[in-house]
Structure 1
Amino acid sequence: MSKTSWPEVVGWPATAAVTQINADRPDVAIEVVPAGTTVAPGFNAERVRVFFDAGNARGPVLYTPVVG
């Protein structure tokens, strides 16, 4: 079964998280989004959104990225 969430990347730099998610699921599109940004609602089985702290120089991932 394909992986659908990445709790282990919370706290990682966004770029490292994207690399890990892409390695696990090269079939999904990854959107890197600053936390607090309004995004279009709706489930998309071919998308993972990575929310990061744009106010921090390292840009750590704040929430568990999930497919949808």
Structure 2
Amino acid sequence: MGRAAPAALMNDDELKTSWPELVGFEMLNAADRINIDRPDVSVAFYMIPTPLPTDYDPNRVVLVGDDRSVVVRTPVIG
């Protein structure tokens, strides 16, 4: 059906900021999907139980994975 508009053509209110549908995906596949949706952000990979960053970065998506590199938390901007 329809395709999402590229990030460059969307205003800030329309940009995707979380990807709950990626929980359960392999981390590299999830990162690819995020890069398609938001090529303007970088993806940071974290494994449980590594502490997550406490600062907010609007140019970063945090991906949290388990020991099998499967996404276990909703990836979000921050």
TM-score normalised by structure 1 residue count: 0.89
Selected match of 1:43 from 45, 53, 56: 56
Does 2:26 match 1:13?
yes
Larger Rg: 2
Task: Please state how far the C-alpha of 1:37 moved relative to its aligned partner.
Answer: 0.5
Mapped to 2, the partners of 1:65 and 1:39 lie a distance apart of 12
What value does the CA root-mean-square deviation take over the aligned residues?
0.9
Unaligned runs of 5+ in 1: none
- Aligned residues, how many? 65
Mapped to 2, the partners of 1:31 and 1:51 lie a distance apart of 9
TM-score normalised by structure 2 residue count: 0.79
User: Runs of 4+ in structure 1 displaced over 4 angstroms?
Assistant: none
Task: Please state how far the C-alpha of 1:40 moved relative to its aligned partner.
Answer: 3.0
User: Quick one: percent identity of the two aligned structures?
Assistant: 38
